[in-house]
Structure 1
Amino acid sequence: MVVSLTWALLALPRLRKRLPKIYLIARSWWLMLAALCACYVIAKITDNSQPSQPPTYPYQWLLIAFFVLIGLRGSYEIKRLWCLRNKAVLIHKLQARGLQANTQPFSQTSPHSPQAYTRLNLLDLLFSFAFITLIVSLIALQQLIWQREQYGVLFFVLYASQFNDIAQYLCGRLLGHKLFKRGLASTISPNKSIEGALFGSMLAALLATLLGIWLTPFSWWICLLAAYGLAVSGIAGDLLESAFKRQHGVKDTGTMLAGHGGVLDRVDSLLIGVPLFTLFYWLLG
């Protein structure tokens, strides 16, 4: 409901014209959260065929399947960048939609060139490991949440990430380079400012804390610490994916989410935060 209201507000012509990127972020998050909510509703259907036994949930596997599908799609996007011919096809698609300049590396590579793979380096392996760890962590976190019947915890994690994306963009646009002349990581992501990261993470943590108090069994200060940790780690995950994309000369990792790239572009802020949160949630539970 929160994301739906935000998306509806941003869909107003005036706001959509002024904040097109925020509109696309809200829309892509709405699609993913709608799919996740649908899986949750179906997974909560109980089987009461044996009154003497506790109710069972025969469709709980849908939640695991949802994360596995994200993992398969993200793995395909990674593999596509490793394959030079498939990468050329992706770049031509991005250029055709005006999402990538023609001066990017590999932009003149023919999609009919012989099948060949780029040589993997440490960054490729690090990013791939981080993504696999994310998928495993999401499945483990969902199982822990289900066992403890604390269903709002996963949504709290996702909201903290979403608020961070939006708050960083807004704070960076309003305050960018007014306090610090240099960017956050100019060689990796020239558009990111220190002000956006600093004030955006604090704003995102406050907003996520308000929902966390309602969605989770945690006290307010634990929600605040968790939300701020997710925001800061979200910045690190975003920079990791930006470095991965820059190395391969692409603006986005896909075109599946109209206007906002592929699955990897949407889950980059979860790469580091979710595994760490899952670990602490398991240890402190």
Structure 2
Amino acid sequence: MASDIVFVIALMIIVSLAWSVLAVPRLRKRLPKIYLIARSWWLMLAALCTCYVIAKITNDTQGSHSQGYPYQWLLILFFILIGLRGSYEIKRLWCLRSKTVLIHKLQAQGLQPSTPLLAKTSLNSTQHYTRLNSLDLLLGIAFISLIISLIVLQQLTWQREQHGVLLFVLFASQFNDIAQYLCGRLLGRKLFKRGLAPTISPNKSIEGAIFGSLVAAILATVLGLWLTPFDWWVCLLAAYGLAVSGIFGDLLESAFKRQHGVKDTGTMLAGHGGVLDRIDSLLIGVPVFTLLYWLLG
């Protein structure tokens, strides 16, 4: 069995076990948010892994010398659906009435502080859309670039028979989210009193960014040696680059949300927020990696 399929199966087993443990009534009551995060993780991974495994199904196109992948369109469709949902979340914040509805929904779920003045202004305004500024355009361009890059990267890795590279890129960025959170909880404000970006994301610490990116890079390097044909130093460089760029992508999306006065871009993924909240760490690193992989691969 191919190493990437083994990784996908092992990952689903681990996440399923974690979700099952957290679903125990006593733990679910004590850690409700962690339970919701684990459930959302499971749903997203189940969709991604199912599409990935089906996309790997081959058929012989020219005897035994050439194989085609007739179902790889399913993985492309998955990325397109993420693009459509993320675009909807961005557009919803540009539309004043839609943003007000989202704010009320977040408030009803206890995810958004009460902002009656903002909601009242939005509902009574004769303007339907906010005036776009440079930050809105930057996030929109970054998101479109991400979706295009994911599709291009999938095509490149399938053509080069280096399928594990796609998984390496995706999970190197996701490892960084988890590592930053854990390192931030353990070490936050112990070495540096100032936060990483207090005006944009007050909860992010410098310790979490530094040590989280290092831990994520090491874990992703091990994964890269297993899934990719790259040398160890290439895996380490790529993993660290994806980790650091993930921080900037997260801050970009946080600045976008703060500008529009919302805590999350949606409620689709309980514990995470919207799709855009879940993939913000990919916004910068994946397009850059895809370009380098295309030029240098």
Asked if TM exceeds 0.5, the reply is: yes
SS at match of 1:261: coil
1:7–1:23: 8 Å Cα contact kept in structure 2?
A: no
Structure 1 residue corresponding to 2:270, chosen from 235, 251, 258? 258
Are the structure 2 counterparts of residues 145 and 95 from structure 1 closer, same or farther at C-alpha, using a change threshold of 3 Å?
same
Residue of structure 2 equivalent to 1:120: 132
Q: Which moved more, 1:56-65 or 1:232-241?
A: 56-65
Residue of structure 2 equivalent to 1:242: 254
1:5 partner letter = I
**TM superposition shift of 1:128:** 0.2
Are the structure 2 counterparts of residues 89 and 44 from structure 1 closer, same or farther at C-alpha, using a change threshold of 3 Å?
same
1:104–1:249: 8 Å Cα contact kept in structure 2?
A: no
Residue of structure 1 equivalent to 2:223: 211
Per-residue CA distance 1:129-155 (angstroms, 9 max, x = gap): 000000011011001000011111111
SS at match of 2:203: strand
SS at match of 2:110: coil
| Separation (CA, whole Å) in 2 of partners of 1:239 and 1:18 | 30
| Separation (CA, whole Å) in 2 of partners of 1:192 and 1:126 | 22
Q: Are 1:106 and 2:118 an aligned pair?
A: yes
**TM superposition shift of 1:258:** 1.5
| Separation (CA, whole Å) in 2 of partners of 1:256 and 1:112 | 27
| Separation (CA, whole Å) in 1 of partners of 2:150 and 2:129 | 30
Q: Are 1:9 and 2:9 an aligned pair?
A: no
1:245–1:253: 8 Å Cα contact kept in structure 2?
A: yes
**TM superposition shift of 1:111:** 5.7
Q: Which moved more, 1:9-18 or 1:76-85?
A: 9-18
Q: Which moved more, 1:178-187 or 1:208-217?
A: 208-217
**TM superposition shift of 1:42:** 2.0
Per-residue CA distance 1:56-113 (angstroms, 9 max, x = gap): 3222211211111111111111110000000011111111111111038624457687
**TM superposition shift of 1:31:** 2.4
Unaligned runs of 5+ in 1: none
Unaligned runs of 5+ in 2: 1-9
1:183–1:191: 8 Å Cα contact kept in structure 2?
A: yes
User: Aligned runs of 1:17-28 on 2, under 5 Å?
Assistant: 24-28=36-40
2:96–2:122: 8 Å Cα contact kept in structure 1?
A: no
Residue of structure 2 equivalent to 1:36: 48
Q: Are 1:134 and 2:141 an aligned pair?
A: no
2:61–2:68: 8 Å Cα contact kept in structure 1?
A: no
Residue of structure 1 equivalent to 2:109: 97
2:170 partner letter = L
SS at match of 1:234: helix
RMSD between aligned residues: 2.4
1:143 partner letter = Q
1:161 partner letter = S
TM-score, normalised to structure 2's length? 0.88
